[in-house]
Structure 1
């Protein structure tokens, strides 16, 4: 029987980093979670325990904080700086994942944490170049009408009634792949997020799949630097409560918001003729 080492990598996960810019009386707060992952000539450490080519994960953590001292603009730019720094010698490929946690400004130096929405960037670098994937999670959206679900397939186990008018709610998990690095990262993020929201609001939905495609299509229409969008949309079901036992009607006003189980709709929307993706692992975690 032949046995060999397969694909492998190692790194430091979830380094918590808060940077305060104090250039004037109005401070700027940046709250990040940074994970690094390195791959390369690692056969010796796996097969014989020889660590000569292993850059300690503690060193990777220290590098995150050291590079943060030079300033953080967009998280994509910070991820590029980190990934490129690590690619040398035995490290042939580096992936850096940066999550940005938003805070709402309350004053010149006061802030409040703003919900669960998180901005993401995944940067991969190797000898060929670098690739950037932007993203977000926890963007919760809801339409109270203009959504239906009818004409679906049925079998002996189908009990779901058709819905001519329903609440449509989801928590968007999105990734988008940039075609190149000549990008205004903050502007692109704002444009992508706005496109996702606008499409959700403006689409009459006959299925969550239709809404997903409209959201991805809107991003590609508005942001030419994006080559591909991948979306995962959980269907946050809202069930009309039966109030008849209490002698009450319920004309679409009182719902039970169920957290599980839930439908999960996933798809990619791609631009025709876009450059192919870089290393496949840049989509890891999705």
Structure 2
């Protein structure tokens, strides 16, 4: 069923996260357009000025007033948005970008900006609850031996430490900009926490961000990093060369990899 939004300006339904004191404002229209394109919020010749902020049962128009910077070398940007009633609130660029999609709300996806560790109180104001699926088994007259079903993987809600190997580079379709984005496909992804057994994830993907490009990654290289993992299948690119296609299911996405360490793969003698 399609989500409807009967409330356009229901401020009482919105949880605001005000900016911490002063924040950076745009120098001019060119600076605004440059930043908005870097955040992936507009690809048009004339940068978009208004955006939808969506909740479960409502949506509100907002504008971007400026941004805060955090992390190493100010690599993390958190937007300061203004509602039509004058309220200010903070939100991550990727999360605001997701809100522009007509499919927003069908899948829980909370993104943070690339780079260092974000502040604890800058958590996005809305978190979608994922409905738990139930399965009904029908007895069969002569059942065959069944394979034991693996329990559903419980994904951590916070940032955790990962190890992974670069499988390949690929192109993924971005429904918002209506063009392909560069991504990195990872294999043998594991969650590694102190005093806990590693959790095998398998395949995952992430945006080929400026931070990752600085590492000049190559297929086969091993990585360690911190990040946040969500259930988000890889969206195949459109009209791409075979070398940028992915031939395996990639069910998870890693958001905001930071504290990246590249290791050379071990050589077998």
* Range of TM-score over shorter length: under 0.3
Relative contact order (alpha carbons < 8 A, sep ≥ 6): 1 or 2 greater? Answer: 2
Q: TM-score, normalised by structure 1?
A: 0.26
Which structure has more helix as a fraction of its residues? 1
